[in-house]
């Protein structure tokens, strides 16, 4: 499998052979769904919290005698059926939503998503990405140039989740240049995960030779 490479000006810079084990995997919706649900659960930070009848203040005295009043019997005003009482089966911030994800399943899900995006023409390989100094103006020019590549026209215009730029190594000037872009996320290729890959329309991979080697190494 071969795919073209471009430079940050949007010009063709040759071709590169890509591993079929990473970009030629068949779509597995069940696996992707399972991994995505688990990852979202692991990112969940419980905030909503209700008190049970044992935690609500007051209610120690029996409201009225058990018999003889003609009213229903009650033992505490903190019962869930009373206004101001505790909540039965309400949300708790001490609940653990974390789920275990097998390493192989996570990696295979990532390969599945990358393969689907590659087949849909949503992965762009560029030879390098660098700036002399952190400047949002230069970053905007790069996005405009890359959006001229066929199939990537929405790269510079999509308002949300337009692109995930996966760097082969951390470049502070690149990270700072795209820092104010709400539709672009910068991430280290070695830490790219299925959730971030699926949440963005396009994936831009820099330095393909090094990046592809790093992606293949995740199978081990």
| Residue finishing a domain among 65, 96, 127 | 96
| Residue finishing a domain among 61, 96, 131 | 96
Does residue 7 sit in the same domain as residue 88?
no
Does residue 117 sit in the same domain as residue 138?
yes
**Per-residue pLDDT tens over the stretch 7-46:** 988 888 889 999 999 999 999 999 999 999 999 999 999 9
Taking residues 99-103, report their average pLDDT.
93
Does residue 213 sit in the same domain as residue 127?
yes
Does residue 142 sit in the same domain as residue 173?
yes
Domain of 70 in residue numbering reads as 47-96
- 143 Cβ partners below 8 Å, 6+ apart? 155, 156, 163, 181, 184
Specify the CATH number for the domain of residue 28. Answer: 3.40.1370.10
Q: Look at residue 56 in the predicted model and tell me its pLDDT.
A: 94
Does residue 146 sit in the same domain as residue 89?
no
- The model carries a pTM of 0.83
Does residue 39 sit in the same domain as residue 127?
yes
Rounded Cα–Cα distance for residues 165 and 191 (Å): 12
Does residue 11 sit in the same domain as residue 117?
yes
Does residue 161 sit in the same domain as residue 83?
no
Does residue 164 sit in the same domain as residue 206?
yes
| Residue finishing a domain among 62, 96, 130 | 96
Does residue 35 sit in the same domain as residue 61?
no
Does the pLDDT at position 94 exceed 80?
yes
| Torsions phi, psi for 112 (to 5 deg) | -65, -45
Q: Which residue reads 């190494």 in tokens?
A: 217
β 12-17/123-126 pair status? unpaired
Does residue 135 sit in the same domain as residue 84?
no
**Per-residue pLDDT tens over the stretch 103-147:** 999 999 999 999 999 999 999 999 989 898 999 999 999 999 999
Does residue 130 sit in the same domain as residue 187?
yes
Structural domain count of the chain:
2
């Amino acid at each position: 499998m071969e795919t073209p490479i471009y430079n940050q000006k949007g010009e063709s810079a040759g071709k590169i052979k890509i591993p079929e084990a990473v970009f030629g995997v068949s779509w597995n919706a069940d696996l992707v769904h399972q991994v995505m649900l688990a990852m979202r659960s692991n990112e969940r930070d419980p905030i909503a919290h209700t008190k049970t009848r044992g935690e609500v203040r007051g209610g120690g005295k029996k409201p009225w005698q058990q018999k003889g009043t003609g009213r229903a019997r009650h033992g505490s005003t903190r019962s869930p059926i009373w206004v101001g009482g505790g909540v039965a089966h309400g949300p708790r911030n001490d609940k653990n939503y974390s789920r275990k994800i097998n390493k192989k399943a996570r990696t295979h899900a990532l390969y599945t998503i990358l393969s689907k995006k590659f087949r849909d023409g949503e992965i762009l390989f560029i030879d390098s990405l660098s700036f002399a100094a952190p400047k949002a103006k230069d970053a905007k020019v790069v996005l405009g140039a890359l959006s001229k590549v066929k199939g990537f026209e929405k790269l510079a215009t999509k308002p949300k989740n337009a692109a995930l730029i996966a760097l082969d190594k951390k470049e502070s000037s690149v990270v700072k240049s795209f820092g104010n872009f709400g539709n672009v996320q910068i991430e280290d290729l070695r830490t790219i995960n299925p959730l971030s890959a699926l949440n963005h329309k396009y994936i831009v991979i820099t330095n393909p030779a090094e990046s592809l080697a790093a992606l293949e190494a995740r199978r081990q």
